[in-house]
Structure 1
């Protein structure tokens, strides 16, 4: 049995969220351990691939709103994951090439792959860092070079916060980021929704079993991430309901009810 090559600091036997996400999207930057988790997640909730694509579409609509409607020109994408399609910088630069984007992820595979895509792009970069280290992230040389924290900035924490237990206090982490930003800045957040939905139960159990993470929260706890901020209409809702490209057609499918997200402005 051949041993998969991995860059320094990466254990191919230990699945990572970023690489499992890549495997679910049909990417190539993952290992057998990641593909095994992806298969188990698909067995538990067959629509999990649709869910991942729904997440990508939500990010795209959020970034388009931030650039075209909110006038934001700086974005910090926390827990960005491996580059796929319609990445944050691509959506932002399509709306305004002057927009600046910094990707942040704890997986050491993300930065080199992102930089390969970003080669020659002066307005986007990536760093390897733990999002919970707010001072380290905001004080990173790449961040200081690209992002002017005295100007309105958007924080994206989409697909990230359900990786942190309440012991990690993700609410305090988000407050720390927003406290460091000036008025007129924005926050975009999502989290898996705790409910009696059997697909939610199945996915939570499988995430905990395979990754040791996946913390589902009720709507009140998710809404608390926006405390002190002004929510953008329609508030904290299921992804397909947030600024849909087309009118949401009737009731949502059960898998579409697994995530809640929203966007808010710092007054």
Structure 2
């Protein structure tokens, strides 16, 4: 959604503070969840009021992620997933989609939001193929060397690395391209990278939303298709390229299939998705 899926860069402690908004909880609110506080709903309502397409963006992003995980699990043979900035559990989480199609799939969720950790670990208590790692996404080495990651992921074999609605919360001076580059260099050939990202339309809607995010969380960066593609430098971006998330490999039953039944709204143009492969 407009607020991505997590708050790895907005938390420094290990306790839940209901007086401060959380990106993950605002996103949960926009998706209709209940794991949020009044302060989160207040921010969410700002987006609903001033940016009425916020909910559509949230659902378009989530649907694209679900399609990407299903595609990877069913067509590539990959059975390892690292989900960076996973956010609060919702319907069709990465491990549920992957393990539905390939039960042997292993998943490592990464998030520093304490509420995400509490809910995630409770949900996964009986799932021995999934872990939740509490490390900031801007510390990829810490994620890579975390004992749970080492236990679950064999980096000598292909891995699916997921950056779903997270890198737009990494400001330019925090080197988002360097984060992707780190993972590109760590994973084996044949690995896949899924990315969704706020997509700049150079219009008042994106400028206003970016301003709200910066004022509220101190971060939030819309990028052009070219800038998003540059984050995947050194990887082969697969068809259909970097496109609005609703148009990224839609299901045949989707009313957006081949763009035949309706035009995208201006809001649906503001979240892009793409899949890339390491040769």
Q: Report the secondary structure of 1:220's partner residue.
A: helix
CA distance in structure 2 between the partners assigned to 1:92 and 1:152 by the alignment: 15
For 2:65, which of 50, 56, 59 is the aligned residue? Answer: 59
> Within 1, Cα distance between the matches of 2:165 and 2:176?
13
Runs in 1 of length 4+ with deviation above 4 angstroms?
none
How far apart are the structure 2 equivalents of 1:255 and 1:25?
16
User: What's the CA shift string for 1:166-223, capped at 9, x where partnerless?
Assistant: 0001001110011011101111112111223333233222222222221011111100
The residue that corresponds to 2:10 in the other structure is: none
Could you report, residue by residue, the CA deviation over 1:16-49 in whole angstroms, capped at 9, with x for unpaired residues? 1111111112222222211111111111111211
Give yes or no for the alignment of 1:204 onto 2:210: yes
SS at match of 2:196: strand
Matched, 1:125 2:137: no
Q: Distance in 2 between matches of 1:209 and 1:166?
A: 16
Partner residue, 2:147: 141
The counterpart of 2:233, out of the listed 227, 237, 242, is 227
**Aligned-pair RMSD on alpha carbons?**
1.4
Q: In structure 2, what is the equivalent of residue 177 of structure 1?
A: 183
TM-score by length of 1: 0.94
Q: For the Cα contact (< 8 Å) 1:189–1:225, is it kept in 2?
A: no
**Which sections of structure 2, spanning at least 5 residues, go unmatched?**
1-12
> Could you say which structure has the greater relative contact order, defined with CA pairs below 8 angstroms and 6 or more residues apart?
2
Determine the structure 2 residue equivalent to 1:70.
Answer: 76
Partner in structure 1 of residue 33 of structure 2: 27
- Give the structure-2-normalised TM-score: 0.90
Aligned length: 261
Contact 1:138–1:144 (CA under 8 A) maintained in structure 2: yes
